């Protein structure tokens, strides 16, 4: 529900207004994109990383904005008020840094408990497991992240893992209005550094792991780790749940000595640790112990890293006060997340597993997980994105050659780069590059593998997961690994 605020009430915390007349205009909606502005909206014009939103103030006013919050370039202009074509413009210094707080002030959602999940891999799976689990406990729950925003049966597509500062607050309020008691949100490193979740009141923050990704943005692994740590140090995060099997999180315990720690590798110092884990094609069985309790947890998921994901989700719900026995009873009803170790099978044909693994660590863990289930050959089909971190290309190829029996290099969002150059970079990581198959069409690569593989083989289609597009040049072309898997196996999706 939008709080009933005047323009003056909205901004008075952040600046002293130059205009002595009270700004009594009622603010009901904030928009960062001038193209979305409608009658009586308030346009927010910040100096962005690529675009200066102030260039679009006139467009927003022409579209009906009755007021504008514009970023001031210096402290002297903080609180300056300007009238332009019937609209009021208020200039605020460092508006981009205050935006989350301003939006939170307008869009209140005190009845929506927010859980933040950050880390390189596992964010989508953990957030969806939490939402599923809560729904099974009769607690209406939503998600925000890579697969979309909303309730699991009604997701709205999201442009980014973590939306802008206004949209994050607006969506949380909308979900609360729709009845969400809990929202599990994927929190990206970009979102943390850029202040998109600065004033989100996280009841619990979860850290999954850290491995190579986004170095084109953060520069170094140290910078990337520091960005992730912000959730637990600079943001409101009441409870921290950390995967201490990851070496990075161990160093964070000095700043979060109150953290709930989780170990799937049996570290008995953890708050929740696995005494024994059994893997089968039907799922995972975990015997757990620790100060959070002891018992047995079963769920129909595949792979060691999903044991970690499951335990992190379980620890979070225990931290929120849910009874372990009740959680255990419904855990068997949890479902694998779309495009995350999603199994496709048909009688007489090889199994196909579709997974979003697009980092070296994720690919390694996916192949290791499937090796346990594979009685024949393990195939892998993957590519590397264009216009992104080139250093991970040979690393991923090295992992594929080491852990799979058959390697097919294909395309994965080549963008503006030459796909042949991307493959060339990948081949440099292989000891015997001549053994790799190169098929740029992912569908043809999957078709080739299905035709050559036996019923005992497993084919991992890695990198795209839930995505239903390929970015070629500047165009987004429809393509889905999930659709390819279902079609090649003659199964309905």
Known binding residues for meso-2,6-diaminopimelate are 388, 412-415, 463, 467
d(CA 182, CA 164): 20
d(CA 258, CA 120): 23
d(CA 9, CA 273): 49
Tokens of 330: 């419904």
DSSP letters, 437-456, are: EE-SSHHHHHHHHHHH--TT
Straight-line distance from the first to the last Cα atom of the chain, in angstroms, rounded to the nearest whole number: 38
d(CA 234, CA 192): 9
- Close Cβ partners of 287 (under 8 Å, ≥ 6 residues apart): 274, 275, 276, 277, 295, 296
Alpha helix stretches (DSSP H) within 51-118: 57-62, 95-106
Known binding residues for ATP are 119-125
Rounded to whole angstroms, the maximal C-alpha distance in the chain is 79
Q: What is the DSSP letter of 287?
A: E
Tokens of 158: 């999201």
d(CA 49, CA 268): 45
d(CA 11, CA 27): 11
Among residues 110, 113, 111, 70, the alpha carbon closest in space to that of 94 is found at 70
DSSP letters, 188-206, are: -HHHHHTTTTTT--EEEEE
Is the distance from CB of 162 to CB of 214 less than 8 angstroms? no
Tokens of 79: 């609180």
Is the distance from CB of 412 to CB of 397 less than 8 angstroms? no
3-state SS class at 26 = strand
d(CA 253, CA 240): 10
Known binding residues are 32, 34, 119-125, 160-162, 188, 194, 196, 388, 412-415, 463, 467
Q: What is the DSSP letter of 337?
A: P
d(CA 372, CA 160): 34
Q: Which residues is 459 bridged to in the sheet? A: 352, 379
d(CA 9, CA 22): 9
DSSP letters, 248-266, are: HHHHHTTT-TT-EEEESS-
């Amino acid at each position: 529900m939008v709080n009933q605020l005047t323009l003056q009430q909205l901004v008075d915390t952040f600046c002293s207004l130059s205009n002595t007349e009270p700004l009594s205009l009622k603010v009901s909606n904030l928009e960062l994109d001038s193209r979305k502005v409608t009658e009586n909206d308030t346009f927010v014009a910040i100096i962005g990383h690529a675009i200066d939103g102030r260039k679009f103030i006139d467009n927003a006013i022409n579209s009906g904005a009755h007021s504008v919050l514009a970023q001031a370039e210096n402290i002297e202009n903080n609180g300056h008020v300007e009238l332009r074509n019937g609209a009021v413009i208020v200039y605020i210094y460092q508006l981009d840094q205050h935006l989350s707080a301003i939006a939170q002030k307008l869009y209140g959602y005190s009845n929506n408990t927010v859980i933040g999940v950050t880390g390189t891999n596992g964010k989508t799976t953990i957030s969806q497991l939490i939402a599923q689990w809560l729904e099974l406990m009769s607690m209406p729950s939503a998600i925000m992240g890579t697969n979309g925003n909303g309730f699991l049966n009604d997701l709205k597509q999201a442009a980014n893992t973590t939306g802008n500062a206004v949209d994050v607050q607006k969506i949380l309020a909308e979900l609360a209005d729709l009845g969400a008691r809990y929202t599990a949100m994927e929190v990206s490193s970009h979102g943390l550094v850029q202040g998109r979740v600065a004033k989100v009141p996280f009841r619990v923050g979860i850290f999954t792991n850290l491995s190579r990704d986004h170095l084109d943005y953060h520069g170094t692994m140290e910078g990337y780790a520091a960005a992730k740590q912000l959730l637990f140090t600079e943001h409101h995060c009441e409870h921290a749940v950390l995967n201490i099997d990851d070496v990075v999180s161990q160093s964070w315990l000095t700043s979060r000595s109150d953290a709930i720690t989780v170990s799937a590798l049996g570290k008995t110092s953890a708050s929740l640790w696995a005494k024994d884990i059994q893997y089968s094609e039907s799922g995972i069985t975990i015997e757990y112990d620790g100060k959070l309790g002891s018992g047995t947890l079963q769920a129909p998921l595949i792979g060691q890293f999903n044991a970690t994901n499951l335990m992190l989700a379980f620890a979070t719900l225990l931290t929120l006060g849910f009874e372990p026995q009740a959680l255990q009873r419904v855990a068997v009803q949890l479902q694998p997340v779309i495009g995350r170790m999603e199994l496709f099978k048909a009688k007489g044909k090889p199994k196909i597993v579709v997974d979003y693994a697009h980092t070296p660590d994720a690919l390694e863990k996916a192949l290791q997980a499937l090796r346990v289930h594979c009685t024949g050959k393990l195939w892998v089909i993957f590519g590397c994105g264009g216009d992104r971190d080139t250093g991970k290309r040979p690393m991923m190829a090295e992992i594929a050659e080491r852990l799979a029996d058959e390697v097919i290099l294909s395309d994965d969002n080549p963008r503006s780069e030459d796909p042949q150059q991307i493959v060339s970079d990948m081949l440099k990581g292989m000891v015997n590059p001549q053994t790799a198959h190169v098929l740029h069409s992912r569908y043809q690569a999957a078709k080739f593998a299905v035709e050559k593989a036996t019923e005992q083989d497993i084919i991992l289609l890695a990198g795209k997961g839930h995505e239903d597009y390929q970015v070629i040049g500047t165009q987004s072309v429809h393509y889905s690994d999930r659709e390819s898997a279902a079609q090649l196996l003659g199964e309905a999706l």
